[in-house]
Structure 1
Amino acid sequence: LFNVSRGSFMPSPNVDSCVVRFDIRDKTPEGVTDEKFFFKVARGAFSQRRKTLSNSVSSSMGIDKSIVNQAIEQSGLPASVRPEALSMEQFITFSEALRKLV
Structure 2
Amino acid sequence: MVQKEVAERIVAQAGKMSILAVSVQYYADAKYLFTVPKTAFDPVPKVDSAIIRITRNLGIEDNKDETKKLFRVVKAGFSAKRKTLANNLSNSFKIDKREVEQKLVSLGFSVNTRAQELSVEHWKKLQGIL
Residues 61-100 of structure 1: matches in 2 within 5 Å? 61-98=93-130
Partner of 2:83: 51
How many correspondences in the alignment?
A: 92
Moved over 2 A (4+): 1-5, 16-29, 33-36
Partner of 1:35: 67
Q: Gapped runs of 5+ residues in structure 2? A: 1-32, 38-45
3-state SS in 1 of match to 2:113: coil
Q: Return the TM-score normalized by structure 1.
A: 0.62
> Alpha-carbon deviations, 1:37-94, whole Å to 9, x = none?
2111111001111211100111122222122112101111111000101112222222
**Per-residue deviation, 1:34:** 2.6
Q: Return the TM-score normalized by structure 2.
A: 0.51
